[in-house]
């Protein structure tokens, strides 16, 4: 049993990546605990067990005195087996947790294993991961056994083992896809400044080139659109607008609202709000389906965008002017009785 135990521990270290010293310590502790329950020794006396790293022999001590017992071999063998099984499970959980915790923020792939209350369970090989319904795109459907890629959102430590949470709806999923597809982004020549996403429908991504010789938008689109097409295919047809970032907020807002054209712009800087006036034929384009274009553009630039046609803006200005006149009229009326009362006093 002695040499066999060492062989088992060494094999576990090779195959499972579990530190042999961790297993040895666990075996020593568990055998000592089991021995103390059986032997009639003073409960205050510390019972310890040592495993010889060369021979694999287990020796028990009560304080400084070695314990000799015919029962020790049987106790050691049974306890060592139980502890090895238990520690294998625990250590494997730690290995999995540490491995995937270090990969948070990356894209990982696996196979769709099963579906559970709308959630997708993904087989990663060593373990399973979860794509919650809230982290899925409504426009995507997967079949059992199909390969799936997703963004590693978080890893939670739970009693039953690490819970790996994946996402295909997170904006960073698209960001990572661009990093994988566009070498200039991965190398840091092109920077992704902001990203706004409506999963399954549309994404707006603002990019900036640190090298004037490299066109940031063109590099992201790729030759004949090859790079962005690969990303759109991965996202099952989600539309992607690639816009050029600018420090000039007016220029940035214009590109963010593309393909719509802006006629006029009124910035309210202290509120980070802007009134945007467009021609009548550009209004629906600027707002987008269900307000999607203006909503995503606002998220991208970090400003609140209010869209008006020229006619709507004119009516708004007239209404504001009427309200101002009415307010002034009320103020004049409020002053009149005071003046009459003053005249009466003088009389």
The full set of domains in the chain, from first to last, is 2-100 (3.30.1480.10), 107-167 (2.40.50.140), 170-245 (3.30.300.20), 257-340 (3.30.300.20)
| Rounded Cα gap, residues 96 and 125, in angstroms | 11
Whether pLDDT at 179 is above 90: yes
Among 117-131, 212-226, 331-345, which is the least confidently predicted range? 331-345
The overall pTM is greater than 0.85? no
- Quick one: average pLDDT of 297-303? 96
- Quick one: average pLDDT of 162-169? 96
- Mean residue pLDDT of the chain comes to 87
**111-150 burial string, b = 16+ CB within 10 Å, else e?**
ebbeeeeeebebebeebbbbbeeebbbeebebeeeeebbb
> How does residue 14 score in pLDDT terms, banded at 50, 70 and 90?
confident
Q: Per residue in 180-197, pLDDT tens?
A: 999 999 999 999 999 999
Whether pLDDT at 199 is above 90: yes
Give the burial class of 182: count Cβ atoms within 10 A of its Cβ; 0-12 exposed, 13-18 middle, 19 or more buried. Answer: buried
Which stretch, 56-60, 65-69, 191-195, 323-327, has highest mean pLDDT? 191-195
- Quick one: average pLDDT of 124-142? 93
Whether pLDDT at 339 is above 90: no
Whether pLDDT at 343 is above 90: no
The share of the chain scoring above pLDDT 90, in percent, equals: 57
Q: Per residue in 256-297, pLDDT tens?
A: 998 899 999 999 999 999 999 999 999 999 999 899 999 999
Position 11 scores a pLDDT of: 84
Q: Per residue in 67-106, pLDDT tens?
A: 777 777 777 778 878 877 887 788 778 888 999 999 999 9
Whether pLDDT at 2 is above 70: no
């Amino acid at each position: 049993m002695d040499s066999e135990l060492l062989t088992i521990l060494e094999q576990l270290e090779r195959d499972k990546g579990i530190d042999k010293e961790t297993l040895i310590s666990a075996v020593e502790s568990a055998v000592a605990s089991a021995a103390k329950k059986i032997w009639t020794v003073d409960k205050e006396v510390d019972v310890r067990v040592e495993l010889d790293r060369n021979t694999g022999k287990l020796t028990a001590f009560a304080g400084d005195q070695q314990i000799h017992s015919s029962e020790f071999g049987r106790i050691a063998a049974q306890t060592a087996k139980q502890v090895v099984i238990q520690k294998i499970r625990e250590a494997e959980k730690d290995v999995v947790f540490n491995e995937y915790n270090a990969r948070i923020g990356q894209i990982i792939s696996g196979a769709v294993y099963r579906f559970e209350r709308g959630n997708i369970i993904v087989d990663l090989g060593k373990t399973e991961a979860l794509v919650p319904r809230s982290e899925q795109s409504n426009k995507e459907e997967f079949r059992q056994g199909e390969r799936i890629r997703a963004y590693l959102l978080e890893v939670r430590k739970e009693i039953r083992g690490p819970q790996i949470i994946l996402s295909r709806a997170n904006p960073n999923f698209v960001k990572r896809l661009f990093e994988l597809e566009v070498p200039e982004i991965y190398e840091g020549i092109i920077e992704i400044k902001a990203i706004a996403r409506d999963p399954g429908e549309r994404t707006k991504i603002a990019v900036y080139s640190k090298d004037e010789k490299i066109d940031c938008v063109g590099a992201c689109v790729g030759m004949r659109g090859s790079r962005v097409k690969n990303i759109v295919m991965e996202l099952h047809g989600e539309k992607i607008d690639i816009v050029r970032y600018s420090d000039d907020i007016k220029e940035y807002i214009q590109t963010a609202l593309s393909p719509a054209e802006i006629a006029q712009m009124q910035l309210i800087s202290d509120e980070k709000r802007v009134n945007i006036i467009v021609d009548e034929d550009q209004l629906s384009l600027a707002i987008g389906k269900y307000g999607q274009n203006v909503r995503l553009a606002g998220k991208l630039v970090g400003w609140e965008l209010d869209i008006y046609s020229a006619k709507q803006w004119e009516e708004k200005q007239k209404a504001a002017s009427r309200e101002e006149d009415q307010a002034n009229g009320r103020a004049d009326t409020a002053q009149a009785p005071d003046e009459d009362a003053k005249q009466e006093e003088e009389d």
